[in-house]
Amino acid sequence: MKEDELIQRLTAGAPANKRLRLGPGDDCAVLDCDAPGLWELFKTDAVVEGVHFEPDADPGLVGRKALARCLSDIAAMGGTPSAALVTLGLPSPPDTARLEALYRGLYALAREYEVAVAGGETVAGAGRLFLSVAALGFVEKERCVLRRGARPGDALFVTGELGGSIAGKHLTFEPRVREARWLTNRFALHAMMDLSDGLASDLPRLLRASGVGAELFAEALPLSRAAKVRFRSGATRKRPLEAALTDGEDYELLFAVASKDAVPLLDAWKEAFPETRLSCIGKITSGGGMTIRERKSVRRMELNGYDHLTQS
Ligand SMILES: [Mg+2]
């Protein structure tokens, strides 16, 4: 069974109450916290040794990644992160120096984003090391961006570059909190999510939520240098285009805006974030599904992104 199907089965009939504004299926849950004009955002994420990081990975970067993944999801809603709880699965025997380095990396990122690490829990005898982070954030109601809301004719954008993140970016990526705050302050985004499983897996989730389709322009996809180097050196057989679509762990923002905003947005972005690429990669269509246009040929996309259940 695919991960999406399993999640759908497990979350069917999940209890709700009057505080819950948006349940499973978006980047974060949205809660009414009785603060005028604000929604509360709630997210949990985990990194597991052997799945999300190799046993010899720099522990400081592993701790950093565990929190950064949550911050990326809060950014994807247009929000500001505020607090986190950390659950640590302890292998036995625990390596104290390694665990301290892990927390140092996590705390450094938390300080950078003014996130309070407000508590946590340890689980002994977990077999392998894992870190689970639950994070809170908040967002002005009018700036909260969901996956649903993309409309036919919208321009589709992605920040940064895609593919090849296994070469290092999957541990060192910067969650796009500042960029998302900037975007929602200036433009009416119709839909947004962060890319964790690869464009070919994640974009269909946004399209399904919005009840629309998309046409991608292959030449416009921002192929990462890492994906090109890995292909040329023989480290992977995936062409950079395929890597950009399917590698996953890009942690970039994918969003849709009215086509009239596309050019003003690109111009303002270059001023605000000269170091970070922003690419218009396609447009939203009324028909369902996703097509990719490569020069003159148009083909239906049949690529699958990184799926944690089918990989293993
Ligand atoms: Mg996400």
Ligand 1 center to 126 CA (angstroms): 26
The domain defined by 155-311 carries CATH number 3.90.650.10: yes
Q: What Rg do the C-alpha atoms of the chain give, in angstroms?
A: 19
Ligand 1 center to 296 CA (angstroms): 33
* 3-143: CATH superfamily: PurM-like, N-terminal domain (3.30.1330.10)
Distance CA 124, CA 118 (A): 20
Ligand 1 center to 253 CA (angstroms): 9
Q: Which helix (H) or strand (E) element contains residue 88?
A: strand 80-89
Ligand 1 center to 234 CA (angstroms): 30
Ligand 1 center to 233 CA (angstroms): 31
Reported as half-sphere exposure (CB side, CA atoms, 13 A), residue 76 has a value of 29
pTM metric for this prediction: 0.93
Ligand 1 center to 6 CA (angstroms): 17
- Nearest-CA neighbor of 252 among 69, 61, 25? 69
Ligand 1 center to 264 CA (angstroms): 26
Ligand 1 center to 196 CA (angstroms): 6
Tell whether omega for the bond before 94 is within 30 degrees of 0, i.e. cis: no
Domain ranges of the chain: 3-143, 155-311
Cβ–Cβ < 8 Å for 246, 198 = yes
- Walk along the chain (312 residues) and give the pLDDT tens digit of each residue: 788 889 889 998 899 999 999 999 899 999 999 999 999 999 999 999 999 899 999 999 999 999 999 999 999 999 999 999 999 999 888 889 999 999 999 999 999 999 999 999 999 887 889 999 999 999 999 999 999 999 999 999 999 999 999 999 999 999 999 999 999 999 999 999 999 999 999 999 999 999 999 999 999 999 999 999 999 999 999 999 999 999 999 999 999 999 999 999 999 999 999 999 999 999 999 987 888 988 766 665 544 444 443 332
Ligand 1 center to 77 CA (angstroms): 9
Residues 6+ apart with CB under 8 A from 301: 200, 216, 245, 289, 290, 291, 292
User: What pLDDT does residue 303 have?
Assistant: 43
Ligand 1 center to 69 CA (angstroms): 8
Ligand 1 center to 286 CA (angstroms): 24
- Nearest-CA neighbor of 161 among 276, 261, 260? 276
Ligand 1 center to 93 CA (angstroms): 33
Ligand 1 center to 94 CA (angstroms): 31
Ligand 1 center to 309 CA (angstroms): 17
